Amino acid sequence: MDTGWVDSLKFDPNGLVPAIIQDHRDGEVLMVAWMNRDSLLDTLRTGKTHFWSRSRGKYWMKGEESGNVQNVRSVYFDCDRDVLLFKVEQVGGAACHTGHRSCFFTEATGEGPRETAAPVFDPAKVYKR
């Protein structure tokens, strides 16, 4: 696999780029997380999304605890080479730790925020911590 393009990316001062995760079937944006060079290379090597957690200061593979891994179908970078986009197959049908399919389940309407979707799993039964 040619990964030379990774060195052409513009990582931020913390060595990170945002990664948009999109359902490969219908284009729904499932989540956004951050990758550094190593988590991106792990993602390309394994075909499953890996990230760097800014809040926890550690690597994580999406689904490592819940089983809801993301199988990468295609990878894109933007014209400025500072944002990544992954089209994935979302195992388990839900990407969000709240149990929702997408992390973007709250719409900010003119009358205020409202949830646009119900959870598809119970986080208390999936996450043991």
In the complex, the residues that contact a copy of itself under the rule CB under 8 A are 1-2, 4-5, 18, 20, 22, 26-29, 31-32, 44, 74-80, 83, 85, 96-98, 100, 103-113, 116
Nearest approach in angstroms of CB 74 to a copy of itself is 6
Task: Pull the structure tokens for residue 43.
Answer: 């993602």
- DSSP code at position 12: -
Nearer to a copy of itself, 64 or 106 (CB): 106
- Closest by CA to 68, choosing from 102, 27, 36, is 102
Taking the C-alpha atoms of residue 111 and residue 75, their distance in angstroms, rounded to an integer, is 37
Nearer to a copy of itself, 64 or 98 (CB): 98
Nearest approach in angstroms of CB 67 to a copy of itself is 19
